[in-house]
Chains A and B, each alone.
Chain A
Amino acid sequence: MAHVVLKDLVKTYGSFKAVNNVSLTVNDGEFVALVGPSGCGKTTTLNLVAGLIPITSGDIVIGDRVVNDLDPKDRDIAMVFQNYALYPQKSVYKNLAFPLQMRRLPKEEIDRKVREAARVLDMTELLERKPRELSGGQQQRVALGRALVRDPSVFLMDEPLSNLDAKLRVQMRSEIKRFHQDLKATIIYVTHDQLEAVTMADRMAVMNGGYLQQYDSPAQVFAHPVNMFVASFVGSPAMSLVPLEASTANGKSVLTSAEGWSLELSPHNAQKVAKAKTRKIVLGARHSTIKLHKSAVPGSIPAKAYTVEPTGDVTFVQAFLSGALVNISMPPTIAVAPDEQIWLEFDQERMHLFDGETEMALKAH
């Protein structure tokens, strides 16, 4: 296994910058997820690491080697593709053997390694089958096996679960996590599904528009998103973002809405707002940090319920607030009907505040 370093990585297509000065370090044995919406440059970044497309500028280091100009075959990597990319004309056995044959290993050793990988992934009985005779989950497992059999220094995975149905995806998610724990493998995993990144990765790199937005542990990214994009991208349902205006009333710092109401800020939050260079402030709150009341309580804000979605454990309510749709979760014991008048109370401790112009998170110091 080896660590991977990306330094000021840039990839341009004509005037379009697909990857913009991305720098990050993946430690030996670490599971890193590259996550972002489609077109954010995550797959391009992975392909750059794999060597499938040439880099425009920057450096890629795998282990102790700068691999910028090396062919994919010389980078000592293995890759799992979204569509698995199993060789359709070859049996499972030959699919697994192919990377070893390319390395000119002796026949007996190939056989031993293939059977070992098949045993680990519990697919010994599938070895003689052709890929098209396998289910999606089995194909996925073969793809993993083909990566595993090589014992590479880095595993690259490009949305390996997105072609599976929902149930199988959850199951394979834990299998890949298990695979990582058992092998202590260095894994770079691309996904558009923030939930996969949060559940599986040691660290997640959130990308948007070719830029790396935030690179930290899922817990940190969840708790301290650096900007509005990360805040709204990570977490489900998404964090609600309400555009407001900062002002003072009776010597206290408040956020006021065009709708007429205002929200008094805690001293800590007031400090953050004081640092902002603009009066435009965006309030961010996750569904679980907003409390729903059926009658006015001190510090609560009036709103109107828009949709009500019971899921069993919790009921999600959406409400319009200052023109933004706000997600609230509440126990199913409270009954709320659409269009009903409700009052919302924000948890000041777990509230996020963003600069309305730069979209960056506001900090107290």
Chain B
Amino acid sequence: MSAIAGTASRGQARRRRIDGWRWSGRIFLVFILLYTALPMIWMLITSIKSGFAAMQFPPQWWPDQPTLASYQKLLDPQNSVGQDFLRFFWNSLFVSTATTILSVIVAVPAAYAFSRFTFPGRNFLFFAVLLRNMFPAVIFLVPLFILMRAIGLVNTHGSLILTYLTFGLPLAIWLLKGFYDNIPVQLEQAARIDGATRFQAFVLIVMPLSAPGIIATAIYSFIGAWNEYIYAYTFLSKNEQLTLPVGIQRFFSENTTDFPGLMAASFMMSVPVVVLFLVLQRYFVRALTEGAVKH
């Protein structure tokens, strides 16, 4: 009897211990959630306050008179603020989309080559590609500025696109190579025997299989370019060229800070990223796990 009771209580103890871990895990997750979500919520709440309400102390936790005036102002092409905002938005969209497309166009064949072909200097090149990631991006600010000036790209969107590619491509290539490594070479061989050229085998068989990786690469490039501030701030000086992160900064500096306007702009800036992520997150997670773990 006592032996059985002993086992039972030990079993319970074990279960309690597991529960303890589980609960501390949950508490940790809740903490992380609050940490990431609260600023977003506060941003949203502030964006629908009036300028006066936003500055009140103690703060209004929920605005007495919620208003969409900031959004209307930002999205109205008739007034100068709206014109600026829409232009910055368009600039950001252009730079980010171009970066994304170019990044996929370069990363897909590069990763495939690294994965499938042996050529002189293959390992050296591959690690050279990763070498960039050892250094903080800001280290390259001055050299790249000098370089861009030398080739006459300062004050063009091209300078940003090139820079973002420099930073985005290493991880993109590395991520995609992991994908191609996991696609059996026999699939391509089968396709080539079945009547496809090497290129057709790649496009018809391998590319669809690496779609999650390509999508993840694209999201990664897009978000990187969309959020980037310091290079955009340094390389561009003309008002009509600015991207959103730099453009939004103007809401700070002119006269008094328009906090609801700033928050509304920030919120709208985060919309494309959130939408992109929600739609494609399934692929993103698959890409990061499969590329790394699956054999």
Contact = CB atoms under 8 A, between A and B. Distances in A.
Contacts of A51: 192
From A51, A52, A82, A150, name the one whose CB has the most chain B CB atoms within 10 angstroms: A52
A52 B195 contact: no
A71 B196 CA distance: 9
B189 A81 contact: yes
B190 interface: yes
Interface in A130-166: 146, 150
Contact of B193 (A77, A82, A83, A87): A77
Given A85-B184, A89-B209, A102 B194 contact: yes
Interface residues of B, number: 16
From B187, B193, B196, B205, name the one whose CB has the most chain A CB atoms within 10 angstroms: B193
B72 interface: no
Interface of A: 47, 50-52, 71-73, 75, 77-79, 81-83, 85, 87-89, 98-99, 102-103, 146, 150
B196 A102 contact: yes
B186 A81 contact: yes
A87 B187 contact: yes
Interface majority SS (helix, strand, loop, mixed), chain B: helix
B192 A81 contact: no
A87 B209 CA distance: 9
Given A79-B193, A89-B208, 8 more contacts: A71-B197, A72-B193, A73-B193, A83-B184, A87-B205, A89-B209, A102-B200, A146-B190
A52 B192 contact: yes
Nearest to A99: B194
Nearest to A82: B186
Contacts, number: 56
Contacts of A87: 187, 190-191, 205
Contacts of B196: 73, 102
A71 B194 contact: no
A83 B186 contact: yes
A81 B194 CA distance: 12
From B190, B197, B209, name the one whose CB has the most chain A CB atoms within 10 angstroms: B190
A150 B194 contact: yes
A79 B184 contact: no
A269 B195 CA distance: 56
A144 B190 CA distance: 12
A51 B194 CA distance: 12
A72 B184 contact: no
Given A73-B195, A73-B197, A102-B200, A52 B189 contact: yes
A47 B186 CA distance: 11
Contact of B192 (A73, A83, A89, A150): A73
From A72, A77, A98, name the one whose CB has the most chain B CB atoms within 10 angstroms: A72
B186 A88 contact: no
A75 B192 CA distance: 10
Contacts of B192: 51-52, 71-73
Given A73-B196, A103-B195, A81 B190 contact: yes
Given A88-B209, A89-B208, A102 B186 contact: no
A73 B197 CA distance: 7
Contacts of A79: 189-190, 193
A98 B190 CA distance: 10
21 contacts: A50-B189, A50-B193, A73-B192, A73-B193, A73-B194, A73-B195, A73-B196, A73-B197, A79-B189, A81-B186, A81-B189, A81-B190, A82-B186, A83-B184, A85-B184, A102-B194, A102-B195, A102-B196, A102-B200, A103-B195, A146-B194
Interface string B185-221: 0110111111111001000010011000000000000
Contacts of B186: 81-83, 85
Contacts of B205: 87
A85 B193 CA distance: 12
Contacts of B193: 50, 52, 72-73, 75, 77-79
Contacts of B208: 89
B193 to A, nearest CB: 5
Interface in B148-201: 184, 186-187, 189-197, 200
Interface string B132-147: 0000000000000000
A150 B195 CA distance: 10
A207 to B, nearest CB: 21
5 nearest A-B residue pairs (beta carbon):
A102-B195, A99-B194, A85-B186, A85-B190, A72-B192
A85 B184 CA distance: 8
Contacts of A75: 193
A87 B188 CA distance: 9
B96 to A, nearest CB: 29
Contacts of A78: 193-194
Nearest to B198: A71
B194 A98 contact: yes
A111 to B, nearest CB: 17
B290 to A, nearest CB: 13
A102 B198 CA distance: 13
A55 to B, nearest CB: 16
Nearest to B186: A85
B204 to A, nearest CB: 8
Interface in B113-131: none
B186 to A, nearest CB: 4
B189 A72 contact: yes
Nearest to A143: B190
Contacts of B197: 71, 73
Nearest to B183: A88
A88 B182 CA distance: 13
Contacts of B195: 73, 99, 102-103
A57 B237 CA distance: 63
Contacts of A71: 192, 197
A232 B223 CA distance: 63
A71 B205 CA distance: 18
